[in-house]
Amino acid sequence: DGGITQSPKYLFRKEGQNVTLSCEQNLNHDAMYWYRQDPGQGLRLIYYSQIVNDFQKGDIAEGYSVSREKKESFPLTVTSAQKNPTAFYLCASSTRQGNYGYTFGSGTRLTVV
Amino acid sequence: GQNIDQPTEMTATEGAIVQINCTYQTSGFNGLFWYQQHAGEAPTFLSYNVLDGLEEKGRFSSFLSRSKGYSYLLLKELQMKDSASYLCAVYSSASKIIFGSGTRLSIRP
């Protein structure tokens, strides 16, 4: 079955450490996205990629980095420069046009300890 | 600028009807989505409106007025499992969907 997989589901990080969140899709979608969601709030766009080897900053890219070396994969690194990284992170994918909406992964809950 | 407004919280009674409103001001408009999100889970697709009017899908209906920058999601015969957040999202340009903050709906018996 086609889908989008995020791992791990829960992640704990010490302050000052970088951590990478995985996102893999087998839907043959060109576009992939990373969103952050804080308690009681909507989704804020971190980075997005419409094609392999290309990505764009979203609204809150500071302290984050991404790569898109393969169509299926769009990992997100939360760096030590991100001041408040504790949040729920959602990865999504879509056709390049995006007009069929997004398919979301199940999310990764990151907690800084 | 980009702005999508919807109420923060709503409460309704099991078996009743509830309408969740959404107004938007975006640079470009190609369509409007409604997603449902249960706590701690990923959003799931409910509806997509491109043209003005009402789209009905079972207990859920969604309405769009492009001239007014307005949409609503109508939920009928409410069930306890409908307790969730409902996200209004605008497809504003190629491959970019902008999400509202969501409306947290609580259903009481």
- Res B61 pLDDT > 90: yes
Which residue, among A25, A37, A89, A100, would best test binding to B if mutated, counting the most B CBs under 10 Å from its CB? A37
A101 interfacial to chain B (CB closer than 8 Å): yes
Q: Which residues of A touch B94 (CB under 8 A)?
A: 50, 96-98
pLDDT at A111: 94
pLDDT at B97: 85
Residue A15: pLDDT band by 50, 70, 90 thresholds? confident
What percent of chain B has a predicted confidence (pLDDT) above 90? 81
Report the alpha-carbon distance of residue A98 to residue A101 in Å, rounded.
Answer: 6
Nearest to B97 among A41, A102, A106 (CB): A102
pLDDT at B27: 83
Which residue, among A102, A108, A109, A111, would best test binding to B if mutated, counting the most B CBs under 10 Å from its CB? A102
Spell out where chain A has E strands: 4-7, 10-13, 19-25, 31-37, 43-51, 54-57, 64-66, 76-78, 87-94, 103-104, 108-112
What percent of chain A has a predicted confidence (pLDDT) above 70? 97
Contact A106 B41 (CB under 8 A): yes
The answer for B 6-45 residues in CB contact with A (under 8 A) is 8, 30-31, 33, 35, 40-45
